Amino acid sequence: MNAFDLAFTPALKLAELIRDREISPLDLVELYLERISHLNPQFGAYFTVAAEQAINDAKAKTALLATNPTELPPFFGVPISIKDLNPVLGVPCSYGTAALVKYIPEYEDVVVTKIREAGFIILGKTATSELGSFPYTEPTCFPPSRNPWNPEYTSGGSSGGAAAAVAAGMSPIAQASDGGGSIRVPAACCGLFGIKPARGRISPAPAGDRFGGLATNGPIARTVADAAALLDVMSGNIPGDTYTLPKPELSFLSASRQKPGRLRVAYATSIQAIAIADTTSQQAVLQTVQLLQELGHTTTEKCPDIRGLVEPFQTIWRTGIAASDVPLESLQPMNRWLISKNITATEYVKAVAQMQILSRQIANFFNDFDLLLLPVYLHSPIRVGEWSHLSPEDIFENIIQWIAPCALANATGLPAIALPVGFDQLGLPMSVQFVGKAAAESTLISLAAQLEMVKPWVNKLPNLLH
């Protein structure tokens, strides 16, 4: 296997190669650091490369292998990237803001600790939009994150750097987060598989969630099995978590190896009173409907009414941005505009209550269906800088018109996935998303694995990388 092929080898396979002593952790880290050095200036996937820490960790793990340990954690020696919204001890964490580019946290998120305990080696911090509030990644303090399929276009956001890193072979797998599509949109833009887990699946400790339950950590990967296995690593709660879920009977990796059975799937290509998908996004959904029918699943054109979620979602999101406590003058115009209206505690509490009431009503939709199939976004990815000249109000409206299908899963706390289904006329990846029942990631993962087997995407790589 040459270096190029190794860079795009699934993370689970890399872990196997390490356990079999066919490659060392140091070999892998040096490979990815070299690719980052070569490719990151072009794609802007990483804000910070933790080269010294990664090399030292890799050397220690390589030396440990020489002692022939009897047991190793599941991803021992495999490199990974961490989104720059998640603190890593001793590594700069900017949250995509100019005010925090020199901030070095003295703690790290529980999810990062879990990733370390699984044996991963952290390569660095991937690019995010400012405070994670944009579905594209163009902060003022760093170069924009670009799509490896065509660098004129966005890699998505807010986990744009995570997706660009995996798509360009600068990391085999990535930690990301999703508060309004921030895993699904980048995965879709870059032709990858992403999981937005159920609310309560992953602990947000130690800081907790300032977005009223909208946001969660999750994986972006090139294969369903890799993402499922990383979700196993990231899952779990600690005392004090506001939202919790019991551990599933079977691991998510096991779910990726099981047939999903015959599923009842609802689908839609429009979001009521908000927007209708363009021809390309409609085509992605309808082609997937046909494939589902061929696989024996039943499909019905139907979608829950989510119009009532828009206002409380916006209120909670605005409050979360304001709670970042970043100096107003350092923020981009849209974020300044978002928090320019002071939201009272009463308004916030009412918004959370309204969202929860409507979420329970929407959850009842799944009494008749196992899954809901939707576009990830309602039109093709935008070019880098395409909206930079617009007013904050127009940018915000454009965002709603683009990623409207994503908010349902965040507002309700339901799990969702994004997976590739082909390419559009520009040669950019096309994707769809599935939303599942409460805490039913296993069903989503089993179906995704079935679709991956029938129409594999793992060997399709951006032409400019060959």
SS3 track for the chain: CCHHHHHCCCHHHHHHHHHCCCCCHHHHHHHHHHHHHHHHHHHCCEEEECHHHHHHHHHHHHHHHCCCCCCCCCCCCCEEEEECCCCECCECCCCCCHHHCCCCCCCCCHHHHHHHHCCCEEEEEECCCHHHCCCCCCCCCCCCCEECCEEEEECCCCCHHHHHHHHCCCCCEEEEEECCCCCHHHHHHHCCEEEECCCCCECCCCCCCCCCCCCEEEEEECCHHHHHHHHHHHCECCCCCCCCCCCCCCCHHHHCCCCCCCCEEEECCEECCCEECCHHHHHHHHHHHHHHHHCCCEEEECCCCCHHHHHHHHHHHHHHHHCCCCCHHHCCHHHHHHCCCCCCHHHHHHHHHHHHHHHHHHHHHHHCCCEEEEECCCCCCCECCCCCCCCHHHHHHHHHHHHHHHHHHHHHCCCEEEEEEEECCCCCEEEEEEEECCCCHHHHHHHHHHHHHHCCCCCCCCHHHC
Residues belonging to the active site = 83, 158, 182
pLDDT at 273: 62
pLDDT at 364: 93
pLDDT at 466: 62
pLDDT at 209: 79
pLDDT along the chain (466 residues), means of 10: 95 98 98 98 98 98 95 98 97 96 96 98 98 97 97 98 98 98 98 98 90 95 98 96 94 98 96 82 97 98 90 92 90 94 92 93 95 96 97 95 94 97 96 98 98 96 80
